[in-house]
Amino acid sequence: MLSRTAENLYWMGRYMERAENMARILDVSKQLSAQNRAGASHDEWPAVLSILYAEKFYADLHGDVTEDGVTNFLTLDQNNPSSIWSCIRAARENARALRATISVELWESINTTWLQLRGMTIEDVQKTGFREFCEWVKERSHLFRGVAHGTMLHNDAFAFTRLGTFLERADNTARLLDTKFFLLSNGETDIEAAANFYEWGAVLRSVGAFRAYHQMYHDVITPTRVAELLVLRKEMPRSLRFCFDKVTENLASLGQSRALESERLSGEFGARLRYGRVERIIGDGLHVFLKEVLDRVADISAQISRDFMMTV
């Protein structure tokens, strides 16, 4: 496969996943902000920017942090390359270069999403409702993955698309978990004592894991179990272990008999997740561990470029 085609497929998958992640972050932040519980000592909107490492970029564009400002920044801001508008546009541009590679149905699903989104204004979103808008974005992302799975040949092109999806998902899960643990624990060392069950439930909903948590643990929500579910559980499709397993699996398929450094990096860290224990991870410092996850995602992404693509 041509390296340019591989790059387009990889980033098409990443951008569609990123758009969904932005919608999930916005949705749960709106819920927590609306709750506005007495005694809450944190502000959701600076935390959203912290998740994205976008505090300075936002300040340069919009100044003071406000709910409306961050909402606009995440949804339709054309100057923000990670806004939902920018992500879907980028996914569509990558897909347009792949018309001879991807299925007609997949192109039509992405193109239709972009055509519906490109003319929207923030007033349109407000009229529809931010919750409904976020659900629409998530549904379009689900449609993209379902159509890709059901209509594309499960060959190298499909593997590159999945590679981008799961690497982006691992990055988002690590960012969300890191920020929410710090925010909801208020810096306390005993994170169980700092548990806020409504807000931890909202965190689970932001990754579509609320029902999965109760099916697995049959108990009240605790931060340690949230961490275990989103870091180590192989059954949870947004957990770090699941994502790294899928990244390694797709790299092995692409490499065939070649020894790829990107596959080694992914498999090495995946082994740590496979045999890890959440108590040890939290005891050694969850923030330190999740920062290492983000560094490893960046390393793997850079190595994928060196192994397969035109850019380095």
Got the DSSP string for 50-119? Answer: HHTT-HHHHHHHH-S--HHHHHHHHHT-TT-TTSHHHHHHHHHHHHHTTTTTS-HHHHHHHHHHHHHHHT
Of 126, 152, 178, the last residue of a domain is: 152
Structural contact between residues 247 and 300, judged by C-beta atoms closer than 8 angstroms: yes
pTM given for the model: 0.91
Instruction: Let me know whether 201 and 243 are in one domain.
Output: yes
CA distance 109 to 16: 11
Instruction: Let me know whether 138 and 26 are in one domain.
Output: yes
* Higher-pLDDT residue of 261, 223: 261
Q: Directed axis angle between helix 156-185 and helix 44-51, to 10°?
A: 140
Per-residue pLDDT reduced to its tens digit, 246-289: 999 999 999 887 889 999 999 999 999 999 999 999 999 998 99
Give the domain extent around 239.
154-312
Instruction: Let me know whether 85 and 159 are in one domain.
Output: no
* DSSP character at residue 233: -
Instruction: Let me know whether 28 and 147 are in one domain.
Output: yes
Of 137, 152, 167, the last residue of a domain is: 152
Instruction: Let me know whether 170 and 300 are in one domain.
Output: yes
Query: Rounded mean pLDDT of 109-113?
Result: 97
Q: What is the mean pLDDT of the chain?
A: 89
Instruction: Let me know whether 23 and 148 are in one domain.
Output: yes
Going from the C-alpha of 52 to that of each of 70, 80, 145, 168, the distances in angstroms are 11, 11, 24, 13
Examine the pLDDT at 189 and tell me if it is beyond 50: no
Instruction: Let me know whether 194 and 292 are in one domain.
Output: yes
Question: Of 139-143, 175-179, 217-221, 256-260, where does the model show the most confidence?
Answer: 139-143
Instruction: Let me know whether 69 and 21 are in one domain.
Output: yes
Instruction: Let me know whether 305 and 274 are in one domain.
Output: yes
Query: Rounded mean pLDDT of 71-92?
Result: 96
CA distance 172 to 79: 21
Instruction: Let me know whether 141 and 9 are in one domain.
Output: yes
Other C-beta atoms lying within 10 Å of the C-beta of residue 67: 15
Max Cα-Cα span within the chain? 59
93: exposed, middle or buried (C-beta count within 10 Å: 0-12, 13-18, 19+)?
A: middle
- Domains of the chain: total: 2
